[in-house]
Amino acid sequence: MKFTSVFDIIGPIMIGPSSSHTAGAARIGRAARDLFGRKPKWAKIHLYGSFAETYRGHGTDVAIVGGLLDFDTFDERIKSAFEHAKMEGLEFEFIPETANKEHPNTARIVMGDDDGEMSVEGISIGGGKIEISEVNGFKLRLTGGMPALLVVHDDRAGCIANVANCLAMHNVNIGHMEVSRIERGLTALMVIEVDQNIDDRIIQQISYIPNITKVSKINN
């Protein structure tokens, strides 16, 4: 087994007690907020498997809410995330589910505000690492280990090339890319992992490309 850094061995700097149930949960919440693009006004948090069974004792609940408030894994405020959520006007509800998921540490966060809503499903794979496995019904695999763009677009010829050309103009190198669609000719989703954080100016330029309907980013 190869390790790319010491943190792959010892895990992330974090508030305990568990890297998979606490640090991973916080990262799922924070990734969901990043994809939504702002702090949500409300969130319904569906928990599966081990998350559903132990979320109170292992701090999964406060960690996810802390992530939605943009707290990092080492932020002491995670311990009092419920109180901070109340002060910031974030309403939340935990819904333990009995259905089986492919991974036992799975959370699906349905969140929204007056301008819209989004569903994000993530899994905590151990050591504080996560994968985002679904966004608004689109199946994907987003590791969270690299900065990433999620581009929702009409399923039309030229969209992928136009986005790639825009990134190339700004010397942004693509490390991994996948495209999925629910039905041919309707809406599709690009997931693009890149080598550096994306400036908001680039996001704005991509949003102006024809047939692009929404652009979200996760910075590393």
Q: Where are the alpha helices (DSSP H) in 11-148?
A: 24-36, 49-54, 60-68, 81-88
| Radius of gyration for the chain, computed over Cα atoms and rounded to the nearest angstrom | 17
DSSP state of 172: P
Question: Can you give the pLDDT at residue 220?
Answer: 67
Report the greatest alpha carbon distance in the chain.
Answer: 50
CATH numbers and ranges of domains, the chain: 7-142 (3.30.1330.90), 148-218 (3.30.70.260)
* Closest listed residue to residue 220, CA positions, set 21, 22, 27, 6: 27
pLDDT in tens, the chain (220 residues): 333 443 333 344 445 445 566 889 999 999 999 889 899 999 999 999 999 998 888 889 999 999 999 998 888 999 999 999 999 999 999 999 988 787 789 999 999 999 999 999 999 988 778 889 999 988 888 876 788 999 999 999 999 999 999 999 999 999 989 898 878 888 999 999 999 988 899 999 999 999 999 998 887 6
Cα separation of 119 and 160, whole Å? 23
Q: Where are the alpha helices (DSSP H) in the chain?
A: 7-10, 24-36, 49-54, 60-68, 81-88, 159-169, 200-207
Q: What is the pLDDT of residues 140-176, one digit of tens each?
A: 888 767 889 999 999 999 999 999 999 999 999 999 8
97 - beta bridge partners?
none
Q: pTM score, two decimals?
A: 0.79
Q: Give the sheet arrangement for strand 138-142, strand by strand.
A: 91-96, 42-48, 105-113, 116-126, 129-135, 138-142
